[in-house]
């Protein structure tokens, strides 16, 4: 089975389209939340994800887009963008966002999906080996997939030690006996200094996970952010992948 894993699209339709083209044909597309927020095309992004049959989990921005209280914890730019997002989505989309599960184990697979972390799915940032180790007891499958930090990396457990391994494009890791927490990076707002969209492909037959980057039309998304009247910082950061 070949599975594409995408996360943190953040209403960036140009980025999502570039990733979907690059992925080609797969058996499943899993998303790790934050489909909306920050970016200019929330409705179109959710429509597209539903059209390709992606299954996934709820992030803090999905929670807020669905009407949840996560918005109260957003920074000023995120807050303004979310207020705007709420005016741009129809009721079925609002219900879709609010109804996304916090955690998901796709049937018959070895993976637990969560946006932030398995123990605190909406909000915890898994950005240190300590945080990752503390989460090992919070999922039962061998592997866990998370987003939220917008930085592609893997936490691997070996003989009781937890290590963080940052990944480059084309990095690959074998699915073996070590428990792993894997982050595909962000499609719509990368924050690791590389502005290209990041995603991950899992091949369960080969037992391999491979990270990929793909260019998208950053200027077009920036222009759409400006045209929507969203905070300019949300446009600027895309160019730098920050």
Residue 62 sits in the site that holds Zn ion (CB under 5 A):
no
Smallest separation (angstroms) from Zn ion to the CB of 127: 13
Cα 97 versus chain centre, distance: 14
Smallest separation (angstroms) from Zn ion to the CB of 12: 11
Work out which of 4, 6, 8, 113 binds Zn ion, going by CB under 5 A. 8
Measured CA to CA, the distance from residue 188 to residue 227 in angstroms comes to: 18
Full strand arrangement of the beta sheet holding 197-203 = 55-56, 28-31, 2-6, 197-203, 208-214, 172-174
Contact by Cβ (8 Å): 242, 193: yes
Smallest separation (angstroms) from Zn ion to the CB of 186: 7
50 φψ region: left (φ > 0), alpha (ψ -120 to 50), beta (else): alpha
Write the binding mask 28 to 57 for Zn ion: x where contact by CB under 5 A, - elsewhere: ------x-----------------------
- Choose the binding region for Zn ion from 3-11, 47-55, 206-214, 219-227 (rule: CB under 5 A): 3-11
Smallest separation (angstroms) from Zn ion to the CB of 61: 6
Contact by Cβ (8 Å): 55, 30: yes
**CB nearer to Zn ion: pick between 8 and 41:** 8
Task: Name the 3-class secondary structure at 206.
Answer: coil
**CB nearer to Zn ion: pick between 151 and 201:** 151
Query: Where does this chain bind Zn ion (CB under 5 A)?
Result: 8, 34
């Amino acid at each position: 089975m070949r599975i594409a894993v995408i996360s943190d699209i953040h209403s960036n339709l140009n980025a999502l389209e570039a990733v979907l083209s690059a992925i080609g044909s797969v058996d499943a597309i899993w998303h790790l939340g934050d489909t909306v927020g920050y970016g200019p095309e929330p409705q179109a992004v959710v429509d597209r994800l539903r059209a390709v049959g992606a299954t996934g989990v709820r992030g803090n921005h999905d929670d807020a887009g669905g009407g949840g209280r996560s918005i109260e914890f957003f920074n000023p730019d995120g807050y303004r963008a979310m207020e705007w997002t709420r005016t741009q989505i129809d009721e079925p989309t609002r219900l879709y966002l609010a109804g996304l599960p916090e955690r998901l184990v796709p049937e018959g697979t070895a993976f637990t999906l969560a946006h932030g972390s398995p123990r605190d799915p909406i909000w915890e940032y898994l950005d240190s080996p300590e945080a990752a180790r503390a989460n090992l007891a919070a999922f039962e499958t061998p592997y866990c997939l998370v987003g939220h930090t917008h930085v592609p990396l893997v936490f691997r457990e070996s003989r009781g030690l937890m290590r963080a391994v940052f990944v480059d494009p084309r990095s690959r890791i074998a699915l073996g006996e070590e428990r792993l927490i894997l982050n595909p990076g962000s499609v719509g707002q990368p924050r690791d200094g590389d502005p290209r969209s990041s995603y991950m492909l899992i091949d369960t037959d080969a037992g391999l996970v491979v990270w990929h980057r793909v260019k998208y039309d950053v200027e077009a998304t920036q222009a759409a952010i400006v045209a929507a009247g969203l905070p300019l910082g949300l446009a600027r950061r895309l160019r730098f992948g920050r």
